[in-house]
Homo-oligomer: A and B are copies of this chain.
C-alpha cells in the first residue's frame, strides 16, 4: 500500500478489530527487566499493577524473578493463550519473538523494540516480513519503535514510563515524546484520555486504523493525533470525517509545513511527510482542526470539550482592568476575530450596572471587579443576552482574591459565585465563554470554572487562539471529502502540449482557438482563418516559453512568416500551433492545476498567475474532484480575489466560468491517475469567459502505470 497513490474505493472503511489491543484478557511482556527506568522493566511493573481479571506473563531471557514476579525464559513456556504481546527485547531477537508470539496465539503484538524499519534497508525488510506473517495469522502489529498503548476505559496502562490519566480524549501518536508532552499539558487542565496509542513506524496498524476504531467508541469525545506520515491519506481522511460526523472533534498535529520539518520527519520514522497545503485542504474538507504544537492541541481540546461552538467571530471582551482588555482586543483581532462596538441599547444597559469610570463599549472594563467580582458574571450575562456577539472572553485577574487572600471571606466568595454564574451563563446561552487569567490554577474560583466546563487559560494568546478555533469550521466543508471516481477506461497516453489541449478540450476545458500547422505556409492559412493578431508556438519542446518557443502579438502576415522562419531556424519544432491572441489586458491570469499526491491522491490548486503569482504567492488547494461551488469558494478565498471581483471600478470577471474550468480539470485528474500533473497556465479570465492559453501535462513513468 505504501507509496502507491490512493485509487477509487481506497476511502472505504476496512475497519480492523483492535479489541485484542485495547481489551486483552491476557498479556505477555518479552524483555521484562528489573530496571524500571528501562521500557521493558517499566512496562512489566506497570502491567503487574493492572486491575484484577487480566493475566500478565513476564518473559526474560534469563527467567528467574522480575519485578517480584516469576518470569518465563521464553513465550513458548506459556501454555495458555495470550491475546496481546509486548516485545521489548533487543532487535536481534525480533523475528523469533514474533513467531513465538504467534505461536501462543497472540492476536496483537506491540513492538516496543527500536532499530528496525526506521533504519531503512534491511531493517525495513525485516519489519515488512514480520508484518506479513502476523497478518497471515490474522493478527495485528503496532510499532516497531513505540512506547506502547493505553486504554483507561479497560484499565490497560501499557505506555512505558508514562501514566495515562483517564478522560474523554483519544490520542494517537507516531512519536512517544510528543505523546509525553500532550499528557503533561492535559494534566494542567485536569484532562485525560480514553485511548492513548503510540504507533512508531506504523509497519502494520496505522493512524487510520485507530481512527476507525474510535468512531463508535462511546467514551471518546474528542480525537487528536500526532502524525508525520499520513500514509493511506484518503482512508485516514474518511475516518476523520466519520469521527467529526459522529460529533467528535478531530485535532491534527502534523509537522511538515516547512522543508526542515519534513527533513526531521523523514529521518525520524522513515516517514514521507505529506505536502502541508494538502493536509490543510484535508482538514478543511473533513472539518478537522490543524494545530501547530502540543500546547495548542491541548488548549483547543479543552475549549472544544466544553461543547460550545461560536456561530461567528464576533467577540465580547470583559475585564477587571483596561490594560488587560486592550491587550486582549489586539490579540483576538490578530487571530481573525472581531471585537465589534456594542449597540446604544446595550451600552445603556451596561451603564446601569457599572460605575462612572467603567468603559461601557467592547471591550468592557468593569473598574469594580476588584471590589465586586460578581460583576464578571452579571456583565457577561447582559452582554451575551443581547445576542450581539458570538462568544465571551473574560480576561484580567479573575480568581485574584481567592488566590491572594484566602482568609478574606467577601471577595473570594464573590469570585466563587461568579465562577458558578459564568458556567451557568455558558450553559444557558450555549455560547462559548472562555476565561484568561494570570491566576489560573491557584485559585478555588478558577478550579471551579474548569470543573464546570469553562475553559481557563493562563495566557491571553492561548485564550484568543482557542476562541478563533471555536469560531472556525465547526463542521466539514460543504461537500466534505469528495469520492474518487473509477479510473477512466481511456487513459491518457500522450503528453505534448497539443495532446493535452485535445484531451482537456474533450473534457470541457475551453482553449483559445488554435490550428496546428506544419510550416509557415500552413501557419499563414491558419492565421487567416483565426483572424489576426495571432501567437505562434513551437511544438515538440518541453518548456516552450523558457526556450523562446512562443511568439506573441503577430499582427499581420509578414510578422507571422518571419516568426515561423525564426522558430524553424532556431528550434526545429515538430509543428507550429497558431493561436488567436487573447485579450489579456481585459482580464486576470490564473493558474489552475492538479497533481497526484502520494498520500491523498488527486488534488487541485487555483491561484493568481503571471506577475501576481510572483508577488502574492496566493494559491488555494483542495482534494479533487471539486464541484462548481467548491471551486468557486476556492477562487473567492484567494487573497487577491478582489482582482477577480472587480476591484477599483473594473468590471467583475467571469468567476463562474473560471470555477467551471477548475471543476472540470479536477474531474479529469481524478479520473486519470496516470496523469501525475496537469496545469492550465495561464487560464485567462475576462468579464465574459475563462479560456486556457496554455497547458502542461505530465504522465507517470510507464513502470508505475501498471
Contacts and interface: CB of A to CB of B under 8 A. Distances in A.
Per CB-CB distance, the 5 closest pairs between chain A and chain B, nearest first, are A175-B323, A268-B322, A177-B321, A260-B339, A267-B359
A295 B611 contact: no
Nearest to A437: B181
Contacts of A321: 175-178
A255 B329 contact: yes
14 contacts: A37-B408, A178-B323, A181-B324, A184-B438, A261-B328, A263-B362, A263-B363, A265-B322, A267-B365, A268-B325, A268-B326, A268-B359, A268-B365, A611-B650
B326 A256 contact: yes
Select the residue from A257, A296, A338, A360 with max chain B CB neighbours within 10 A.
A257
A153 to B, nearest CB: 25
Interface string A282-319: 00000000001111100000000000000000000100
A460 interface: yes
A140 to B, nearest CB: 23
A341 B264 CA distance: 11
A180 interface: yes
A217 to B, nearest CB: 24
Interface in A625-660: 639-640, 642-643, 647-648, 650
Contacts of A610: 648
A261 B294 CA distance: 29
A706 interface: no
A255 B363 CA distance: 13
Interface string A245-281: 0000000010111101111110111000100000000
A332 B261 CA distance: 10
Interface of A: 37, 114-115, 118-119, 161, 173-178, 180-181, 184-185, 226, 228, 253, 255-258, 260-265, 267-269, 273, 292-296, 317, 320-334, 338-341, 356-357, 359-363, 365, 396-397, 401, 404-405, 408, 411, 438, 459-461, 610-612, 614-616, 639-640, 642-643, 647-648, 650
Q: How many copies of the shown chain assemble into the complex? A: 2
B363 A260 contact: yes
A264 B362 CA distance: 7
Contact of A257 (B174, B334, B460): B334
Given A362-B263, A616-B616, A639-B615, A326 B438 contact: no
Contact of A396 (B177, B341, B643, B648): B177
Contact of A611 (B324, B328, B408, B647): B647
Given A180-B397, A642-B615, A327 B357 contact: no
A206 to B, nearest CB: 16
Nearest to A363: B264
A413 to B, nearest CB: 13
Given A119-B357, A184-B438, A333 B648 contact: no
Contacts of A273: 326
Given A114-B357, A323-B174, A648-B610, A258 B330 contact: yes
A118 B365 CA distance: 13
B323 A397 contact: no
Given A264-B326, A438-B180, A647 B258 contact: no
Contacts of A295: 459-461
A102 to B, nearest CB: 26
B648 A331 contact: no
A269 B322 contact: yes
Nearest to A258: B333
Contacts of A650: 611
B255 A330 contact: yes
Given A181-B324, A321-B178, A643-B611, A459 B267 contact: no
A461 B37 contact: no
A614 B648 contact: yes
Nearest to A410: B37
A44 to B, nearest CB: 16
A261 B334 CA distance: 11
A331 B293 contact: yes
Contacts of A294: 327, 438, 460
A647 B614 CA distance: 7
A256 B323 CA distance: 11
A610 to B, nearest CB: 7
A226 B181 CA distance: 33
A340 B397 CA distance: 42
Nearest to A356: B119
| Residue from A255, A268, A324 having most chain B Cβ neighbours under 10 A | A268
